[in-house]
Structure 1
Protein backbone atom coordinates (compact mmCIF):
# COMPACT_ATOMS: atom_id res chain seq x y z
CA UNK A 1 0.00 0.00 0.00
CA UNK A 2 1.34 3.45 -0.93
CA UNK A 3 2.21 5.94 1.76
CA UNK A 4 -0.89 7.89 2.79
CA UNK A 5 -2.08 10.67 4.99
CA UNK A 6 -3.13 9.44 8.46
CA UNK A 7 -5.30 11.65 10.66
CA UNK A 8 -6.59 10.83 14.13
CA UNK A 9 -10.21 12.00 14.51
CA UNK A 10 -10.53 11.35 18.27
CA UNK A 11 -7.85 12.10 20.86
CA UNK A 12 -7.48 13.82 24.23
CA UNK A 13 -5.01 16.20 25.90
CA UNK A 14 -4.88 17.59 29.42
CA UNK A 15 -2.44 19.22 31.79
CA UNK A 16 -3.79 17.52 34.91
CA UNK A 17 -6.92 15.63 35.82
CA UNK A 18 -8.73 17.17 38.78
CA UNK A 19 -12.50 17.38 38.51
CA UNK A 20 -15.76 16.09 40.00
CA UNK A 21 -18.26 13.99 38.01
CA UNK A 22 -21.53 12.75 39.52
CA UNK A 23 -20.29 13.78 42.94
CA UNK A 24 -17.08 11.76 42.71
CA UNK A 25 -13.62 13.25 42.35
CA UNK A 26 -11.41 12.24 39.44
CA UNK A 27 -7.81 13.28 39.87
CA UNK A 28 -4.23 12.37 39.11
CA UNK A 29 -2.71 10.22 41.85
CA UNK A 30 0.06 11.66 43.98
CA UNK A 31 3.31 9.73 43.65
CA UNK A 32 2.33 8.04 40.39
CA UNK A 33 1.00 10.51 37.84
CA UNK A 34 0.22 7.82 35.28
CA UNK A 35 -2.66 6.65 37.50
CA UNK A 36 -5.86 8.42 38.47
CA UNK A 37 -8.52 8.11 41.12
CA UNK A 38 -11.51 7.26 38.92
CA UNK A 39 -15.01 6.76 40.36
CA UNK A 40 -13.66 5.20 43.54
CA UNK A 41 -11.02 3.06 41.82
CA UNK A 42 -7.36 3.49 41.03
CA UNK A 43 -6.97 3.31 37.24
CA UNK A 44 -4.00 3.30 34.87
CA UNK A 45 -5.08 6.45 33.03
CA UNK A 46 -1.82 7.01 31.14
CA UNK A 47 1.00 4.76 29.94
CA UNK A 48 3.25 4.01 32.93
CA UNK A 49 6.16 6.08 31.60
CA UNK A 50 4.09 9.31 31.67
CA UNK A 51 4.65 9.72 35.40
CA UNK A 52 3.88 13.42 35.95
CA UNK A 53 0.21 13.18 34.98
CA UNK A 54 0.67 15.67 32.13
CA UNK A 55 -0.85 14.45 28.89
CA UNK A 56 0.64 17.21 26.77
CA UNK A 57 0.72 18.13 23.10
CA UNK A 58 4.50 17.73 23.04
CA UNK A 59 4.27 14.09 24.13
CA UNK A 60 1.43 13.45 21.71
CA UNK A 61 3.38 15.02 18.84
CA UNK A 62 6.26 12.66 19.57
CA UNK A 63 3.85 9.72 19.33
CA UNK A 64 2.29 11.17 16.18
CA UNK A 65 5.67 11.64 14.51
CA UNK A 66 6.72 8.11 15.42
CA UNK A 67 3.47 6.62 14.12
CA UNK A 68 3.42 8.92 11.05
CA UNK A 69 0.10 10.53 12.03
CA UNK A 70 0.01 13.93 10.36
CA UNK A 71 -2.77 15.59 12.36
CA UNK A 72 -5.17 14.92 15.21
CA UNK A 73 -8.59 16.14 16.30
CA UNK A 74 -8.59 16.77 20.06
CA UNK A 75 -11.98 16.33 21.72
CA UNK A 76 -12.85 16.58 25.41
CA UNK A 77 -14.37 14.38 28.12
CA UNK A 78 -15.86 15.56 31.40
CA UNK A 79 -13.65 13.07 33.29
CA UNK A 80 -10.58 15.10 32.28
CA UNK A 81 -11.93 18.45 33.45
CA UNK A 82 -12.37 21.53 31.28
CA UNK A 83 -9.27 21.94 29.10
CA UNK A 84 -10.50 24.86 26.97
CA UNK A 85 -7.68 27.21 27.96
CA UNK A 86 -4.96 24.65 27.33
CA UNK A 87 -6.40 23.51 24.01
CA UNK A 88 -6.62 27.12 22.84
CA UNK A 89 -2.86 27.39 23.41
CA UNK A 90 -2.28 24.11 21.57
CA UNK A 91 -4.42 25.22 18.61
CA UNK A 92 -2.50 28.46 18.19
CA UNK A 93 0.92 26.84 18.61
CA UNK A 94 0.41 23.90 16.21
CA UNK A 95 -2.41 24.88 13.82
CA UNK A 96 -1.37 22.39 11.12
CA UNK A 97 -1.17 19.43 13.48
CA UNK A 98 -4.24 19.86 15.68
CA UNK A 99 -7.94 20.63 15.39
CA UNK A 100 -8.89 21.29 19.03
CA UNK A 101 -12.41 21.38 20.39
CA UNK A 102 -13.86 23.20 23.37
CA UNK A 103 -16.25 21.53 25.76
CA UNK A 104 -19.50 23.49 25.90
CA UNK A 105 -23.26 23.09 26.27
CA UNK A 106 -24.64 26.59 25.49
CA UNK A 107 -24.53 28.99 22.57
CA UNK A 108 -22.71 31.57 24.71
CA UNK A 109 -20.00 29.04 25.56
CA UNK A 110 -19.66 28.08 21.90
CA UNK A 111 -19.37 31.75 20.95
CA UNK A 112 -16.64 32.28 23.54
CA UNK A 113 -14.74 29.26 22.24
CA UNK A 114 -14.98 30.46 18.64
CA UNK A 115 -13.58 33.85 19.63
CA UNK A 116 -10.49 32.14 21.04
CA UNK A 117 -9.91 30.22 17.80
CA UNK A 118 -11.50 26.86 18.61
CA UNK A 119 -13.75 25.83 15.70
CA UNK A 120 -15.30 22.75 17.25
CA UNK A 121 -17.35 21.76 20.29
CA UNK A 122 -17.21 18.39 22.04
CA UNK A 123 -20.30 17.14 23.89
CA UNK A 124 -19.69 13.87 25.78
CA UNK A 125 -23.41 13.29 26.10
CA UNK A 126 -23.00 9.64 27.03
CA UNK A 127 -22.02 11.07 30.43
CA UNK A 128 -23.82 14.45 30.48
CA UNK A 129 -27.16 13.03 29.22
CA UNK A 130 -28.48 16.50 28.36
CA UNK A 131 -31.79 16.48 26.46
CA UNK A 132 -31.12 17.50 22.87
CA UNK A 133 -33.72 20.26 23.08
CA UNK A 134 -31.49 22.03 25.62
CA UNK A 135 -28.53 21.81 23.25
CA UNK A 136 -30.40 23.06 20.17
CA UNK A 137 -29.59 26.79 20.64
CA UNK A 138 -25.90 25.86 20.66
CA UNK A 139 -26.30 23.57 17.66
CA UNK A 140 -27.99 26.37 15.68
CA UNK A 141 -25.25 28.83 16.62
CA UNK A 142 -22.62 26.33 15.52
CA UNK A 143 -24.41 25.70 12.24
CA UNK A 144 -24.59 29.43 11.52
CA UNK A 145 -20.90 29.90 12.28
CA UNK A 146 -19.42 26.83 10.58
CA UNK A 147 -18.36 25.02 13.74
CA UNK A 148 -17.97 21.23 14.01
CA UNK A 149 -19.78 19.14 16.65
CA UNK A 150 -18.21 16.03 18.16
CA UNK A 151 -20.76 14.11 20.20
CA UNK A 152 -20.71 10.77 21.98
CA UNK A 153 -24.08 9.15 22.64
CA UNK A 154 -25.24 6.66 25.23
CA UNK A 155 -26.76 3.27 24.41
CA UNK A 156 -30.13 4.99 24.58
CA UNK A 157 -32.68 4.95 21.78
CA UNK A 158 -34.36 8.13 23.07
CA UNK A 159 -31.10 10.06 22.97
CA UNK A 160 -30.24 8.68 19.53
CA UNK A 161 -33.70 9.57 18.22
CA UNK A 162 -33.40 13.12 19.56
CA UNK A 163 -30.02 13.47 17.88
CA UNK A 164 -31.56 12.41 14.61
CA UNK A 165 -34.17 15.15 14.94
CA UNK A 166 -31.44 17.71 15.68
CA UNK A 167 -29.53 16.67 12.56
CA UNK A 168 -32.64 17.16 10.45
CA UNK A 169 -33.28 20.57 12.04
CA UNK A 170 -29.67 21.71 11.50
CA UNK A 171 -28.83 20.27 8.05
CA UNK A 172 -25.65 22.33 7.57
CA UNK A 173 -24.15 21.43 10.96
CA UNK A 174 -21.11 19.18 10.70
CA UNK A 175 -21.44 16.33 13.22
CA UNK A 176 -18.98 13.58 14.14
CA UNK A 177 -20.50 10.72 16.15
CA UNK A 178 -17.86 9.39 18.54
CA UNK A 179 -16.89 5.94 19.79
CA UNK A 180 -17.99 4.52 16.43
CA UNK A 181 -21.59 4.42 17.57
CA UNK A 182 -20.72 1.93 20.34
CA UNK A 183 -20.47 -1.20 18.16
CA UNK A 184 -20.59 -3.58 21.14
CA UNK A 185 -24.07 -2.38 22.16
CA UNK A 186 -27.56 -3.00 20.81
CA UNK A 187 -27.86 0.58 19.54
CA UNK A 188 -24.92 0.34 17.12
CA UNK A 189 -27.05 0.08 13.98
CA UNK A 190 -29.22 3.03 15.00
CA UNK A 191 -26.23 5.21 15.88
CA UNK A 192 -24.36 4.69 12.63
CA UNK A 193 -27.55 5.22 10.64
CA UNK A 194 -27.54 8.80 11.91
CA UNK A 195 -24.97 9.35 9.14
CA UNK A 196 -27.77 8.80 6.62
CA UNK A 197 -29.89 11.63 8.02
CA UNK A 198 -27.76 14.45 6.61
CA UNK A 199 -24.94 15.33 4.24
CA UNK A 200 -22.54 16.44 7.00
CA UNK A 201 -22.60 13.51 9.42
CA UNK A 202 -19.57 11.30 10.10
CA UNK A 203 -18.87 8.35 12.39
CA UNK A 204 -15.42 8.20 14.00
CA UNK A 205 -13.85 5.17 15.62
CA UNK A 206 -12.31 6.70 18.76
CA UNK A 207 -12.18 4.02 21.44
CA UNK A 208 -12.88 1.05 19.19
CA UNK A 209 -9.78 -0.81 20.44
CA UNK A 210 -11.00 -0.16 24.00
CA UNK A 211 -14.41 -1.62 23.16
CA UNK A 212 -12.73 -4.76 21.80
CA UNK A 213 -9.87 -4.80 24.31
CA UNK A 214 -10.79 -8.27 25.60
CA UNK A 215 -10.20 -9.62 22.11
CA UNK A 216 -6.99 -7.57 21.63
CA UNK A 217 -4.81 -7.10 18.56
CA UNK A 218 -5.47 -7.52 15.64
CA UNK A 219 -9.04 -6.69 16.72
CA UNK A 220 -10.77 -8.80 14.10
CA UNK A 221 -14.22 -8.02 15.51
CA UNK A 222 -13.46 -4.29 15.33
CA UNK A 223 -12.59 -4.67 11.66
CA UNK A 224 -15.87 -6.50 11.08
CA UNK A 225 -17.74 -3.63 12.76
CA UNK A 226 -15.97 -1.15 10.47
CA UNK A 227 -16.88 -3.33 7.50
CA UNK A 228 -20.51 -3.49 8.64
CA UNK A 229 -20.65 0.30 9.06
CA UNK A 230 -19.08 0.85 5.63
CA UNK A 231 -21.65 -1.46 4.05
CA UNK A 232 -24.46 0.38 5.87
CA UNK A 233 -23.58 4.07 5.44
CA UNK A 234 -20.61 4.07 3.04
CA UNK A 235 -16.87 4.30 3.73
CA UNK A 236 -16.99 8.04 2.96
CA UNK A 237 -18.87 8.58 6.26
CA UNK A 238 -16.28 6.86 8.46
CA UNK A 239 -13.08 8.13 10.11
CA UNK A 240 -10.36 6.54 12.22
CA UNK A 241 -9.84 7.74 15.79
CA UNK A 242 -7.56 6.37 18.49
CA UNK A 243 -8.94 7.73 21.82
CA UNK A 244 -5.31 8.53 22.73
CA UNK A 245 -3.90 8.37 25.39
CA UNK A 246 -6.15 5.99 27.33
CA UNK A 247 -6.08 3.26 24.69
CA UNK A 248 -2.27 3.20 24.60
CA UNK A 249 -2.13 1.87 28.13
CA UNK A 250 -2.81 -1.47 26.41
CA UNK A 251 -1.31 -1.04 22.92
CA UNK A 252 1.09 1.31 21.15
CA UNK A 253 -0.22 4.30 19.26
CA UNK A 254 0.79 2.77 15.94
CA UNK A 255 -1.11 -0.42 16.80
CA UNK A 256 -4.31 1.63 17.15
CA UNK A 257 -4.47 1.88 13.35
CA UNK A 258 -1.97 -0.76 12.18
CA UNK A 259 -4.60 -3.51 12.53
CA UNK A 260 -6.60 -1.74 9.83
CA UNK A 261 -3.63 -1.48 7.47
CA UNK A 262 -3.00 -5.21 7.83
CA UNK A 263 -6.64 -6.25 7.41
CA UNK A 264 -7.77 -8.00 4.24
CA UNK A 265 -11.40 -6.98 4.89
CA UNK A 266 -10.90 -3.49 3.41
CA UNK A 267 -9.52 -2.30 0.08
CA UNK A 268 -6.57 0.07 -0.18
CA UNK A 269 -8.89 2.89 -1.23
CA UNK A 270 -11.17 2.23 1.75
CA UNK A 271 -8.20 2.26 4.11
CA UNK A 272 -6.93 5.53 2.67
CA UNK A 273 -10.33 7.17 3.09
CA UNK A 274 -10.93 5.78 6.58
CA UNK A 275 -7.45 6.50 7.97
CA UNK A 276 -7.10 10.07 6.78
CA UNK A 277 -8.76 11.20 3.57
CA UNK A 278 -12.24 11.59 5.01
CA UNK A 279 -11.06 13.47 8.11
CA UNK A 280 -8.93 15.85 6.03
CA UNK A 281 -11.98 16.85 4.01
CA UNK A 282 -14.46 16.90 6.91
CA UNK A 283 -12.34 19.14 9.15
CA UNK A 284 -10.89 21.16 6.22
CA UNK A 285 -7.39 20.41 7.48
CA UNK A 286 -4.46 22.09 5.76
CA UNK A 287 -1.79 19.78 7.13
CA UNK A 288 0.95 18.90 4.63
CA UNK A 289 3.22 17.09 7.02
CA UNK A 290 5.15 14.30 5.32
CA UNK A 291 6.42 12.18 8.19
CA UNK A 292 9.25 9.73 7.47
CA UNK A 293 9.33 6.23 8.85
CA UNK A 294 12.03 5.91 11.53
CA UNK A 295 13.29 2.40 12.11
CA UNK A 296 13.17 0.99 15.64
CA UNK A 297 16.35 -0.22 17.35
CA UNK A 298 14.75 -3.67 17.33
CA UNK A 299 14.58 -3.76 13.52
Structure 2
Protein backbone atom coordinates (compact mmCIF):
# COMPACT_ATOMS: atom_id res chain seq x y z
CA UNK A 1 0.00 0.00 0.00
CA UNK A 2 1.54 3.30 -1.07
CA UNK A 3 -0.96 5.54 0.75
CA UNK A 4 0.35 7.75 3.53
CA UNK A 5 -1.98 7.16 6.52
CA UNK A 6 -2.19 9.55 9.48
CA UNK A 7 -4.79 9.28 12.23
CA UNK A 8 -6.00 12.80 13.07
CA UNK A 9 -8.08 11.87 16.15
CA UNK A 10 -7.04 9.39 18.83
CA UNK A 11 -6.78 9.14 22.62
CA UNK A 12 -4.23 7.80 25.09
CA UNK A 13 -4.34 7.41 28.86
CA UNK A 14 -2.77 5.36 31.59
CA UNK A 15 -5.92 5.17 33.68
CA UNK A 16 -9.34 6.77 33.74
CA UNK A 17 -9.99 8.21 37.18
CA UNK A 18 -12.07 11.34 36.80
CA UNK A 19 -15.58 12.75 36.61
CA UNK A 20 -17.68 14.86 34.29
CA UNK A 21 -20.91 16.73 35.01
CA UNK A 22 -20.82 15.35 38.56
CA UNK A 23 -20.66 11.71 37.42
CA UNK A 24 -17.67 9.34 37.71
CA UNK A 25 -15.49 7.67 35.10
CA UNK A 26 -13.38 4.87 36.57
CA UNK A 27 -11.21 2.13 35.04
CA UNK A 28 -12.39 -1.36 35.98
CA UNK A 29 -10.99 -4.63 34.58
CA UNK A 30 -11.09 -6.50 31.27
CA UNK A 31 -11.22 -3.27 29.29
CA UNK A 32 -14.30 -1.98 31.05
CA UNK A 33 -14.95 1.32 32.79
CA UNK A 34 -17.71 2.71 34.90
CA UNK A 35 -18.85 5.54 32.66
CA UNK A 36 -21.14 8.16 34.22
CA UNK A 37 -24.08 5.89 35.08
CA UNK A 38 -23.18 2.41 33.81
CA UNK A 39 -20.47 -0.14 33.14
CA UNK A 40 -19.29 -0.10 29.51
CA UNK A 41 -16.67 -1.79 27.36
CA UNK A 42 -14.37 1.22 27.09
CA UNK A 43 -11.50 -0.53 25.27
CA UNK A 44 -11.10 -4.03 23.77
CA UNK A 45 -11.33 -6.79 26.37
CA UNK A 46 -7.75 -7.95 25.83
CA UNK A 47 -6.58 -4.63 27.33
CA UNK A 48 -7.35 -6.21 30.68
CA UNK A 49 -5.76 -3.53 32.87
CA UNK A 50 -7.49 -0.64 31.07
CA UNK A 51 -4.13 0.96 30.23
CA UNK A 52 -4.42 2.65 26.84
CA UNK A 53 -0.72 3.15 26.21
CA UNK A 54 1.30 4.58 23.35
CA UNK A 55 3.08 1.25 22.96
CA UNK A 56 -0.15 -0.70 22.41
CA UNK A 57 -1.34 1.99 20.00
CA UNK A 58 1.94 1.88 18.09
CA UNK A 59 1.53 -1.88 17.69
CA UNK A 60 -1.92 -1.28 16.19
CA UNK A 61 -0.57 1.54 14.02
CA UNK A 62 2.33 -0.53 12.71
CA UNK A 63 0.03 -3.46 11.87
CA UNK A 64 -2.46 -1.15 10.10
CA UNK A 65 0.36 0.78 8.36
CA UNK A 66 -0.59 4.08 10.03
CA UNK A 67 2.52 6.25 10.09
CA UNK A 68 1.51 8.93 12.57
CA UNK A 69 -1.27 9.86 14.94
CA UNK A 70 -2.72 12.99 16.51
CA UNK A 71 -3.64 12.50 20.18
CA UNK A 72 -6.41 14.76 21.43
CA UNK A 73 -7.91 14.85 24.93
CA UNK A 74 -11.34 14.38 26.48
CA UNK A 75 -12.65 15.21 29.94
CA UNK A 76 -14.06 11.70 30.31
CA UNK A 77 -10.49 10.34 30.23
CA UNK A 78 -9.06 12.83 32.70
CA UNK A 79 -6.39 15.40 31.89
CA UNK A 80 -3.38 13.51 30.48
CA UNK A 81 -0.84 16.31 29.97
CA UNK A 82 2.02 14.66 31.87
CA UNK A 83 1.65 11.35 30.06
CA UNK A 84 1.26 12.91 26.63
CA UNK A 85 4.37 15.06 27.14
CA UNK A 86 6.28 11.82 27.74
CA UNK A 87 4.68 10.20 24.69
CA UNK A 88 5.82 13.07 22.50
CA UNK A 89 9.30 12.92 23.99
CA UNK A 90 9.57 9.15 23.48
CA UNK A 91 8.05 9.04 19.99
CA UNK A 92 8.46 12.51 18.44
CA UNK A 93 8.07 11.41 14.82
CA UNK A 94 4.94 9.30 15.37
CA UNK A 95 2.72 11.50 17.55
CA UNK A 96 1.37 15.05 17.62
CA UNK A 97 -0.11 15.53 21.08
CA UNK A 98 -2.56 18.10 22.45
CA UNK A 99 -2.54 19.56 25.93
CA UNK A 100 -5.76 20.34 27.78
CA UNK A 101 -6.87 22.64 30.60
CA UNK A 102 -9.64 22.51 33.18
CA UNK A 103 -11.89 25.03 31.47
CA UNK A 104 -14.46 24.80 34.25
CA UNK A 105 -12.16 26.69 36.62
CA UNK A 106 -11.00 30.30 36.13
CA UNK A 107 -7.27 30.60 35.52
CA UNK A 108 -6.98 28.05 32.71
CA UNK A 109 -5.25 30.67 30.55
CA UNK A 110 -2.18 30.39 32.77
CA UNK A 111 -2.26 26.60 32.40
CA UNK A 112 -2.46 26.93 28.63
CA UNK A 113 0.45 29.35 28.60
CA UNK A 114 2.52 26.92 30.68
CA UNK A 115 1.66 24.02 28.38
CA UNK A 116 2.71 26.04 25.35
CA UNK A 117 5.95 27.11 27.06
CA UNK A 118 6.68 23.46 27.86
CA UNK A 119 6.47 22.49 24.19
CA UNK A 120 2.85 21.56 23.44
CA UNK A 121 1.97 22.60 19.88
CA UNK A 122 -1.77 22.09 20.33
CA UNK A 123 -4.50 22.70 22.90
CA UNK A 124 -7.65 20.55 22.91
CA UNK A 125 -11.15 21.61 23.91
CA UNK A 126 -13.88 18.95 24.00
CA UNK A 127 -16.44 21.67 23.50
CA UNK A 128 -19.45 19.36 23.62
CA UNK A 129 -18.50 18.59 27.24
CA UNK A 130 -18.69 22.26 28.21
CA UNK A 131 -22.49 22.13 28.21
CA UNK A 132 -23.49 20.84 31.66
CA UNK A 133 -26.77 20.17 33.37
CA UNK A 134 -26.37 23.31 35.47
CA UNK A 135 -24.88 25.64 32.87
CA UNK A 136 -22.17 25.93 30.26
CA UNK A 137 -18.74 27.35 29.55
CA UNK A 138 -18.84 29.59 26.49
CA UNK A 139 -16.19 29.24 23.82
CA UNK A 140 -16.21 33.03 23.34
CA UNK A 141 -15.79 33.94 27.02
CA UNK A 142 -13.14 36.58 27.79
CA UNK A 143 -10.63 34.04 29.14
CA UNK A 144 -11.20 31.72 26.18
CA UNK A 145 -10.63 34.57 23.76
CA UNK A 146 -7.45 35.54 25.59
CA UNK A 147 -6.20 31.97 25.26
CA UNK A 148 -7.11 31.82 21.55
CA UNK A 149 -5.19 35.04 20.86
CA UNK A 150 -2.14 33.55 22.60
CA UNK A 151 -2.45 30.37 20.54
CA UNK A 152 -2.79 32.38 17.35
CA UNK A 153 0.33 34.39 18.18
CA UNK A 154 2.32 31.25 19.06
CA UNK A 155 1.15 29.17 16.10
CA UNK A 156 -0.55 26.62 18.37
CA UNK A 157 -3.33 24.45 16.91
CA UNK A 158 -6.80 24.17 18.46
CA UNK A 159 -8.53 20.78 18.48
CA UNK A 160 -12.25 21.34 19.02
CA UNK A 161 -15.27 19.07 19.16
CA UNK A 162 -18.57 20.92 19.01
CA UNK A 163 -21.97 19.96 20.37
CA UNK A 164 -24.56 18.66 17.95
CA UNK A 165 -27.49 20.75 16.68
CA UNK A 166 -25.16 23.73 16.16
CA UNK A 167 -25.44 24.82 19.80
CA UNK A 168 -21.92 26.32 19.73
CA UNK A 169 -21.55 27.35 16.09
CA UNK A 170 -22.20 31.01 16.81
CA UNK A 171 -19.51 31.04 19.49
CA UNK A 172 -16.82 29.46 17.32
CA UNK A 173 -17.69 31.71 14.39
CA UNK A 174 -16.90 34.67 16.65
CA UNK A 175 -13.56 33.04 17.54
CA UNK A 176 -12.71 32.46 13.86
CA UNK A 177 -13.57 36.07 13.01
CA UNK A 178 -11.46 37.50 15.82
CA UNK A 179 -8.54 35.06 15.40
CA UNK A 180 -8.40 34.34 11.65
CA UNK A 181 -4.83 32.94 11.81
CA UNK A 182 -5.71 30.39 14.52
CA UNK A 183 -5.46 26.87 13.07
CA UNK A 184 -8.51 24.83 14.11
CA UNK A 185 -9.33 21.14 13.62
CA UNK A 186 -13.00 20.40 14.25
CA UNK A 187 -13.66 16.81 15.28
CA UNK A 188 -16.35 14.14 14.99
CA UNK A 189 -17.03 15.21 11.40
CA UNK A 190 -19.45 17.85 12.59
CA UNK A 191 -21.53 15.26 14.51
CA UNK A 192 -22.52 14.02 11.10
CA UNK A 193 -25.59 12.00 12.08
CA UNK A 194 -27.26 14.94 13.84
CA UNK A 195 -29.46 17.53 12.09
CA UNK A 196 -27.55 20.53 10.78
CA UNK A 197 -24.15 18.81 10.66
CA UNK A 198 -23.44 20.54 7.35
CA UNK A 199 -23.09 23.88 9.15
CA UNK A 200 -20.16 22.55 11.16
CA UNK A 201 -18.53 21.23 7.99
CA UNK A 202 -18.92 24.63 6.31
CA UNK A 203 -16.78 26.20 9.03
CA UNK A 204 -13.90 24.76 6.98
CA UNK A 205 -14.62 27.34 4.29
CA UNK A 206 -12.50 29.57 6.53
CA UNK A 207 -8.82 29.46 5.57
CA UNK A 208 -7.34 27.88 8.71
CA UNK A 209 -10.16 25.51 9.69
CA UNK A 210 -10.05 21.77 8.99
CA UNK A 211 -12.54 18.97 9.69
CA UNK A 212 -11.47 15.53 10.97
CA UNK A 213 -13.56 12.38 11.05
CA UNK A 214 -12.71 11.02 14.50
CA UNK A 215 -15.70 8.98 15.67
CA UNK A 216 -17.40 8.65 12.29
CA UNK A 217 -17.56 4.84 12.60
CA UNK A 218 -19.10 5.30 16.05
CA UNK A 219 -21.70 7.70 14.65
CA UNK A 220 -22.57 5.19 11.92
CA UNK A 221 -22.23 2.17 14.21
CA UNK A 222 -25.83 1.01 13.66
CA UNK A 223 -25.14 0.85 9.96
CA UNK A 224 -21.77 -0.87 10.53
CA UNK A 225 -19.05 -1.85 8.10
CA UNK A 226 -18.50 -0.86 5.29
CA UNK A 227 -20.17 2.34 6.56
CA UNK A 228 -21.76 3.38 3.29
CA UNK A 229 -23.52 6.27 5.00
CA UNK A 230 -20.19 7.57 6.27
CA UNK A 231 -18.77 7.40 2.75
CA UNK A 232 -21.74 9.35 1.42
CA UNK A 233 -21.24 11.98 4.12
CA UNK A 234 -17.54 12.31 3.25
CA UNK A 235 -18.49 12.67 -0.42
CA UNK A 236 -20.99 15.39 0.50
CA UNK A 237 -18.45 17.19 2.68
CA UNK A 238 -15.89 17.15 -0.13
CA UNK A 239 -18.46 18.75 -2.40
CA UNK A 240 -19.14 21.41 0.25
CA UNK A 241 -15.61 22.46 1.27
CA UNK A 242 -13.11 20.53 -0.87
CA UNK A 243 -11.03 17.40 -0.34
CA UNK A 244 -8.10 19.43 0.96
CA UNK A 245 -10.07 20.47 4.08
CA UNK A 246 -10.86 17.00 5.48
CA UNK A 247 -8.80 14.51 7.52
CA UNK A 248 -9.35 10.93 8.60
CA UNK A 249 -9.51 10.15 12.32
CA UNK A 250 -10.32 6.91 14.12
CA UNK A 251 -11.27 7.96 17.68
CA UNK A 252 -9.04 5.08 18.86
CA UNK A 253 -9.33 3.14 21.16
CA UNK A 254 -13.06 3.30 21.89
CA UNK A 255 -14.10 2.59 18.32
CA UNK A 256 -12.06 -0.64 18.12
CA UNK A 257 -14.32 -2.35 20.61
CA UNK A 258 -16.63 -2.82 17.61
CA UNK A 259 -14.20 -3.03 14.68
CA UNK A 260 -10.47 -3.52 14.17
CA UNK A 261 -8.23 -0.49 13.90
CA UNK A 262 -7.58 -1.10 10.21
CA UNK A 263 -11.30 -1.34 9.51
CA UNK A 264 -11.65 2.25 10.73
CA UNK A 265 -10.08 3.44 7.48
CA UNK A 266 -10.01 0.61 4.94
CA UNK A 267 -13.65 1.20 4.03
CA UNK A 268 -12.34 4.46 2.55
CA UNK A 269 -9.73 2.62 0.51
CA UNK A 270 -12.30 0.20 -0.87
CA UNK A 271 -15.04 2.61 -1.88
CA UNK A 272 -15.53 3.63 -5.50
CA UNK A 273 -17.26 6.87 -4.48
CA UNK A 274 -14.01 8.75 -3.84
CA UNK A 275 -11.18 9.38 -6.28
CA UNK A 276 -7.63 8.24 -5.61
CA UNK A 277 -6.58 11.85 -5.01
CA UNK A 278 -9.43 12.41 -2.55
CA UNK A 279 -8.46 9.27 -0.64
CA UNK A 280 -4.82 10.33 -0.44
CA UNK A 281 -5.67 13.78 0.87
CA UNK A 282 -8.24 12.51 3.36
CA UNK A 283 -6.24 9.58 4.73
CA UNK A 284 -2.97 11.35 5.34
CA UNK A 285 -1.64 14.09 3.13
CA UNK A 286 -3.84 16.84 4.60
CA UNK A 287 -2.93 15.87 8.16
CA UNK A 288 0.77 15.65 7.27
CA UNK A 289 0.69 19.25 6.09
CA UNK A 290 -1.62 20.62 8.79
CA UNK A 291 0.24 19.10 11.76
CA UNK A 292 3.74 19.14 10.29
CA UNK A 293 4.58 15.45 10.41
CA UNK A 294 8.08 14.61 9.17
CA UNK A 295 10.03 11.39 8.64
CA UNK A 296 7.09 9.02 8.92
CA UNK A 297 8.22 5.38 8.84
CA UNK A 298 7.78 3.05 5.91
CA UNK A 299 5.51 0.32 7.28
CA UNK A 300 5.45 -2.80 5.12
CA UNK A 301 2.43 -5.07 4.99
CA UNK A 302 2.73 -8.15 7.19
CA UNK A 303 0.71 -11.16 6.13
CA UNK A 304 -1.92 -12.43 8.56
CA UNK A 305 -1.53 -15.98 9.81
CA UNK A 306 -5.12 -16.59 8.69
CA UNK A 307 -4.46 -15.61 5.06
TM-score, normalization: structure 2? 0.94
**1:245 corresponds to 2:253:** yes
Q: Which stretches of structure 1, 4 residues or longer, exceed 4 Å deviation after superposition?
A: none
In 2, Cα distance between equivalents of 1:270 and 1:258: 14
SS of alignment partner, residue 290 of structure 1: coil
Query: Structure 1 residue 20: deviation in Å?
Result: 1.2
| Kept in 1: contact 2:73–2:99 (CA 8 A) | yes
Give the aligned partner of residue 124 of structure 1.
Answer: 126
Give the aligned partner of residue 18 of structure 2.
Answer: 19
**Where in structure 1 are there 5+ consecutive unaligned residues?**
none
Give the aligned partner of residue 74 of structure 2.
Answer: 77
- C-alpha offsets along residues 165-212 of structure 1, whole Å, 9 cap, x if unaligned? 11111111000000000110112011011111x211000000000000
**Where in structure 2 are there 5+ consecutive unaligned residues?**
132-136
Query: Structure 1 residue 33: deviation in Å?
Result: 4.0
Match of 1:186 among 177, 195, 198: 195
SS of alignment partner, residue 102 of structure 1: coil
Match of 1:231 among 235, 239, 246: 239
**1:92 corresponds to 2:94:** no
In 2, Cα distance between equivalents of 1:173 and 1:33: 41
Match of 1:115 among 94, 114, 117: 117
Give the aligned partner of residue 255 of structure 1.
Answer: 263
- C-alpha offsets along residues 116-144 of structure 1, whole Å, 9 cap, x if unaligned? 22110110010113212221111111000
In 1, Cα distance between equivalents of 2:152 and 2:196: 26
In 2, Cα distance between equivalents of 1:267 and 1:188: 23
In 2, Cα distance between equivalents of 1:155 and 1:126: 8
CA RMSD of aligned residues (A): 1.0
| Kept in 1: contact 2:140–2:174 (CA 8 A) | no
| Kept in 2: contact 1:180–1:204 (CA 8 A) | yes
**1:294 corresponds to 2:302:** yes
In 2, Cα distance between equivalents of 1:285 and 1:187: 33
SS of alignment partner, residue 125 of structure 2: strand
In 2, Cα distance between equivalents of 1:91 and 1:191: 30
| Greater displacement, 244-253 / 100-109 | 100-109
| Greater displacement, 34-43 / 130-139 | 130-139
Match of 1:154 among 163, 175, 181: 163
Query: Structure 1 residue 84: deviation in Å?
Result: 0.4
| Kept in 1: contact 2:73–2:98 (CA 8 A) | yes
In 2, Cα distance between equivalents of 1:110 and 1:149: 11
- C-alpha offsets along residues 140-159 of structure 1, whole Å, 9 cap, x if unaligned? 11000010000000024341
**1:38 corresponds to 2:47:** no
In 1, Cα distance between equivalents of 2:66 and 2:166: 35
Give the aligned partner of residue 275 of structure 1.
Answer: 283
